[in-house]
Every structure is written in C-alpha cells, then in structure tokens.
Amino acid sequence: MTIYRKVILAALILAFGVITLGAYVRLSDAGLGCPDWPGCYGKLTPQNASEAIDAALAVRPDGPVSHAKAWKEMVHRYFAGTLGLLILVIAVLAWRGRRDMRGGVALPLLLLGLVVFQALLGMWTVTRLLKPLIVSSHLLGGMATLALLAWLWFRERGRSGHVYYADTGHLRDPALLGLALVIAQIALGGWVSTNYAGLACPDFPVCHGAWMPPMDFEQGFTLHRRLGETATGALLPLTALTAIHWTHRVMALLVTLYLGWLVVRLLRSPGYAGMGLAIGVLLALQVSLGIGNVLFSLPLPVAVAHTAGAALLLVSLVRLNYRVRRR
C-alpha cells in the first residue's frame, strides 16, 4: 500500500471518529464547553484555561462551561484539526503526483476546500451559540467529508488489481436514490438533534398518543433562528419540536421501506449479496437504535451510536454507488 493510500485510509477512519465524537459532544451539552475558538479561553488546553473556567463556573455553576465539557470540546477540536492536516497531505500528494492520477486531483482538492469550510462552521457553531442551521450544516459537512473520503478510498483501492464487474445498469438509479434518501434522513436527523427534539415524541409508534399530533411545521422548519427560539425570538413551542421529530419518523419509515426493497434486489443480483446483507444489517441496527432512543429516553450511548450508524450506512451506500458505476 502506497503512502497516499495509507493517508486516505487513516483520514477515512479519523473522519468517522470525528463524527462520532462530535455527536458525543453535542448530545452531552458540551458544544459551548469552550466559548471561543480555536482555543479555550485563548489557551491551547483546558488545563491552561482552568482559572477562566473556574470563574465561569462561579458565575453559572449550571451553565454550559465546566472542566469536563471543556475537555470534551477541545478533544473534538484536536481530532478535527488532525483530520484537516491529513486531508491537506492528501491534496499535496495528489497534486505532486497529478500526472499519474487517473482519477485526477479534483476530488482531493474538493476535500481540502470542504475541510476549510468545515473549520469555519466549527467556529461559527461556537460564536453563534449553537444556532441550529449552523450546527446541522456542520454535521452534514462532516458526513460529506466522510463520504468523499470513502469514494476516494474505494477509487484508489480499486486500482490494486483488475476486477471485472457484470453489467450493473439496472442498479445505478436505485442505488443513487437510496443514497439520496439516506442523505435526506441524515439531514433531518441532524435537525432533530440540533433542536433537541429527540424526545418531542415520548411514545412509540404514536406521538403524544396520536398518529397525527398537533404540529407547527412553519416554526419547526424555519431555518434562520436561534436555538430554542422562533424567528421572532419567542420560545419555540412544543408543537414545533413535535413537527421536527414526527417528520424524521415518517422519513425513517420511507427510507426503511425503500432500502429494504433495495436490499432484496441486491441479494438477488450476482456479486452483490454481500453488500445487500451489509446494508440490511446496518438498516436494522439504525431502526433499532432510533426506537431505543425514544423508549429509553435518549440514553447517551444509544444516541451516539445512532449517529455512528448513520455514518456507516452512508458509507455503505457510497460503496454501492461506486461499485455499480465502475467499469
């Protein structure tokens, strides 16, 4: 394995770790553990900022700042910064070897641009006080980084040998639609999480004892607003949170039905049974974790695992789409 491929693989694994760690930071309310960026009260580590953290705790003992939360936030930044450096190395190596790059350097350069934008979103997440649109965009940017790194890895790994694939024209459109649906569901899941609407429907399968509870879609899906507030600054009503959560459930049902059909089709297609089985297992896991989040009142390990499962399901659909388009 060349150095270039090793760096891509390391970045791919780290990107998954950063997404999972980011979910842990968000779900443990540590997103403002360090209220500035990129350091913590202007320091490199929370240890060096201990006096400032103690002062913040003296003012607001139950506030968003604590030593534990500061370390969670900064560890996430350390990992994200390392990922950014790895992607920079990927772009540099790709540019230096561009004459021998059969796939071109567009994808590595796109990844570099994306990770720079991700850094800006990370900064705005803190400076704009966890504004839902920015936090959701940051999550989607992380998922996009993971997906592009996965595509780059599959592309580079596929060059290690000559592999023949049977005609896959009948799977291209279904695979692409499956990927699009998963991306849409991840976006909705991010909107649920960043608005803290995970328990807006505390029962299952109904919501507040009804299939169609009172909901305020206009307020729930107004993008430009502060966390927990309407566009006019009023407290965001429960009906708005219910609309967010209910929409995510309905979309989950649609995605489950479609991917279930796709899995059956893959199992019946020569050479794709393994991929179909993998997608089916990940889908079943995601559905179970989603239901578990509601039934057990959003336990932190289950909620974090739900985000990690979404990332793995996304990679499995990226792999499928790469495979059915390869000649």
- Do 154 and 233 lie in one domain? The reply is no
Domain boundary pick from 139, 163, 187:
163
Three-class DSSP category at 53: helix
Catalytic status, residue 73:
yes
- Do 155 and 197 lie in one domain? The reply is no
- Pick the catalytic residue from 73, 156, 218, 229: 73
Domain boundary pick from 114, 135, 163:
163
Residue 206 confidence (pLDDT) = 97
Domain boundary pick from 121, 137, 163:
163
- Do 171 and 98 lie in one domain? The reply is no
- Do 58 and 148 lie in one domain? The reply is yes
Residue 314 confidence (pLDDT) = 98
Three-class DSSP category at 57: helix
pLDDT tens profile 307-325: 999 999 999 999 999 999 9
Residue 170 confidence (pLDDT) = 87
Count the domains in the chain: 2
- Do 22 and 49 lie in one domain? The reply is yes
Residue 217 confidence (pLDDT) = 98
- Do 155 and 172 lie in one domain? The reply is no
- Do 132 and 152 lie in one domain? The reply is yes
- Do 104 and 170 lie in one domain? The reply is no
- Do 76 and 133 lie in one domain? The reply is yes
- Do 13 and 95 lie in one domain? The reply is yes
Residue 159 confidence (pLDDT) = 61
The model carries a pTM of 0.95
Residue 38: cis peptide before it, omega within 30 degrees of 0: yes
Tell me the residue range of the domain where 172 lies.
164-327
- Side-chain-facing half-sphere of 138: CA atoms under 13 Å: 26
Inter-residue contact 228 to 236 (CB < 8 Å): yes
- Do 149 and 285 lie in one domain? The reply is no
